[in-house]
Amino acid sequence: MSKFEFIETTIIDGVGFIELNRPEVLNAINRGMVSELVSTMKEFDRDDHVKVIVLTGKGRAFAAGADIDEMAQDSPIDLELLDQFAEWDQMLQVKKPVIGAVNGFALGGGFELALSCDMLFATETSQFGFPEVNLGVMPGAGGTQHLTKIMGKKKALEWLWTGEKMSADEAIHYGIVNRLIAPELLIEETMKFAKKVAKQPPLAVRLIKESVDKAVDYPLDEGMKFERKNFYLLFSSEDQTEGMNAFIEKRKPQFKGK
């Protein structure tokens, strides 16, 4: 069904499934891929059939970095005028849960893409890293910010300065990934989890994501106020009435996402 050149998409049981599809270059991210990815995510965000988005890479890697050839000759002014990251940043505006399934390498831009996901499942053999420093540059799509917010300054600097590859064990130790799964079962287990979340009341799931995202940046007092507003807001939903009635009547709730 895919209408894209660089990705493949499908919808399975409420899960919007996106695969990066340049396996011959370990899914190196080029500008066309970012455009397709962002437009698909926005489309899934509006599509009632999609409750959760899963993102993975075809072949041996999740994504082994950005397409270097594409940007090697760019001047700062070219990059400013192109403003390529503006499109990338829209991924962070997606309101539905985005779960990354990292098979193999997530390096450079591929690691930034993984860090942009809400949750990450990976395999024992997955490897992560920011090799940009070895090319005389640095991450530019949120890598220094996301990694530091997750690992803390000291550990983040170690990886960003050396450009070395981080093992899956290290990634799970620092909370970069949620679970390590046998490589053969990565997609199956990620989809099981995604389908479980897809059955949860969508409005609650959505406002929980929004509140948790605020916790990363807001001072606690502001975050608490934000949370409370969302908590009150859910009391205007049909799902809240249904959920609480079902609890009192000791039956299973039927959520509608309204």
Partner 1 sequence: MYETILYNVDQGVATITLNRPDSLNAFTKQLNDDVRKAVKQASGDSDVRCIVITGAGRAFCSGQDLKDVGESADFGEVLRNNYHPMVREIERCEKPVIAAVNGVAAGAGFSLALACDFRIASEKSSFIQAFIHIGLVPDAANLYYLPKLIGEAKTMELAVLGDKISAETAQQYGLLTKLVSSDNWEDEVNAFAGRLAAMPTKAIGLIKRSIKASWNITFDEYLEKEAYGQRIAGLTDDFEEGVQAFIDKRKPAFQGK
Torsion region of 58: left, alpha or beta (phi above 0 gives left; psi -120 to 50 gives alpha): beta
Residues 36-95 that bind partner 1 (CB under 8 A): none
Interface mask (CB under 8 A) for partner 1, residues 145-184, using x and -?
Answer: ------------------------------------xx-x
Residues binding partner 1: what is the number (CB under 8 A)?
A: 6
Q: Are 210 and 230 in contact (CB under 8 A)?
A: yes
- Residues 177-206, one symbol each (x = binds partner 1 by CB under 8 A, - = not), give ----xx-xx--xx-----------------
**Which position among 100, 109, 110, 143 bears the catalytic label?**
109
**252, 199 contact by CB (below 8 A):** no
* Separation in Å, CA 78 to CA 68, 108, 203: 15, 21, 41
Candidate list 19, 36, 112, 227, residue with the active-site label? 112
132 is catalytic: yes
Closest CA to 121 of 158, 161, 168: 168
Indicate if 106 belongs to the active site. no
Residue 116 or 123 with smaller CB distance to partner 1? 123
Q: Do 21 and 63 form a contact (C-beta atoms < 8 A)?
A: no
109: annotated active-site residue: yes
Q: What is the DSSP letter of 138?
A: -
> Which CB sits closer to partner 1, 48 or 184?
184
Q: CB of residue 258 vs partner 1: minimum separation in angstroms?
A: 36
Q: Is 112 a known active-site residue?
A: yes
Q: Which residues bind partner 1 (CB under 8 A)?
A: 181-182, 184-185, 188-189
The residues that are catalytic are 66, 109, 112, 132
